Amino acid sequence: MALITTQALNVDSRIKDLSFDINQGELIGLIGPNGAGKSTLLNTLAGLEDFSGSIVINDNNFQSYSSNQRARMVGLQPQFATSAWSISVSDVVALGRIPWGDNDEDAIKQAMLNADVNNFADRTIDHLSGGERARVWMARVLAGQPDVLLSDEPVANLDIHYQLSVMDVLKSYAQEGHGVVVALHDLSLAARYCDRLCLMNKGGLVACGTADEVLKESVLSEVYGVEVEVDLHRKPPVVLPK
């Protein structure tokens, strides 16, 4: 079941005639070089960018929903997030319930547990490391229990242990019947975890499909401008520059 479908989506000159869908139970890896349009696409799906073309959410046009209704259905973990106030981790996570107008303690506690931030719930956000903050912002999105979770480079500031932990959380969230789209630069992680990969370049989709279909050495080398070695038969798969 498609949770979100786009047709001929355009955002200024940054996204060009892009059509794809996000299905229930699916973890999609959004890959591509810097400037490919990954963050712009995620921001657009979250309602933060003006666009032309069509976005359909749960069989209804994007514009038919209020911003509050969209926030309940689509949650965004941005690439860069900051807090203007020195507030506790638990209070940051509770912000994820704003679209619902409640303070569902069970949802908040479960989100903190899933993101592995419950051990420092009482610390303030400005006294955390970059990696800890990234996990807190993920917990905030999880607390909102959106149908579709959009995550922009959530493992960028994490060590290898927490990279795997975060990807496990996103995979589990998708398997619970949600749709998840994660922007990644680590192609090995993308091949390891994602059900489908969408390779972007210069605002468009180059390829979309399984890892076998998308992670072709010749295609990646052309898009990234360097020679790439791909071994998807290894456990876990490996994609590295030569």
Q: Are strands 15-23 and 148-152 parallel, antiparallel or unpaired?
A: unpaired
SS3 163: helix
Which pLDDT tens digits describe the chain residue by residue (242 residues)?
Answer: 799 999 999 999 899 999 999 999 999 999 999 999 999 999 999 999 999 999 999 999 999 999 999 999 999 998 876 766 788 999 999 999 999 999 999 999 999 999 989 988 889 888 888 788 888 999 999 999 999 999 999 998 788 988 998 999 999 999 999 999 999 999 999 999 999 999 999 999 999 999 999 999 999 999 999 999 999 999 999 999 98
Amino acid code (one letter) for 148: V
* Residue 92 pLDDT: 92
Give 2-79+147-241's CATH code, choosing from 3.40.1710.10, 3.40.50.720, 1.10.357.10, 3.40.50.300: 3.40.50.300
Q: What is the DSSP letter of 184?
A: -
What is d(CA 152, CA 181) in angstroms, rounded to the nearest whole number? 8
- Residue 206 burial by Cβ neighbours in a 10 Å radius (0-12, 13-18, 19+): middle
* Residue 171 pLDDT: 96
* Residue 84 pLDDT: 64
What is d(CA 193, CA 30) in angstroms, rounded to the nearest whole number? 12
Q: What is the DSSP letter of 160?
A: H
* Residue 95 pLDDT: 93
